Amino acid sequence: MADKSKGTWYVSFERPRGKRNGARATETFPNEREAKEFARAKLVDTLKVSAGTLNPHLPKRTIAPTLMLEWLEEPGEADLA
């Protein structure tokens, strides 16, 4: 049986051109803060970065590349507490 992910957030990004054109990779994170930090770092390499929550985490969120900068500026879960 496969190990279940402990993360609730994912960040998907396009790999650099030397590693198969158009190939994407995805990393998972336990919280939104860590996902945002990783996404911010990936934006240095590519603008094709998306993120979101993994099932069954609610509320479901999907952040498209066109909304990435807005999401990074939103206060995080920890900031609202």
Instruction: Write the pLDDT tens digit of every residue in 2-37.
Output: 445 568 999 999 987 765 666 889 999 999 999 999
CA 9 to chain CA mean position, Å:
6
pLDDT tens, residue by residue, 28-63: 999 999 999 999 999 998 889 999 999 988 899 999
Kindly state the DSSP code that residue 31 receives in the 8-state scheme.
S
Cα dihedral 4/60/47/44 (nearest 10): -60
Amino acid in position 76: G
In angstroms, the CA 38 to CA 19 distance is: 20
**25 C-beta neighbours (distance < 10 Å), count:** 11
In angstroms, the CA 44 to CA 3 distance is: 31
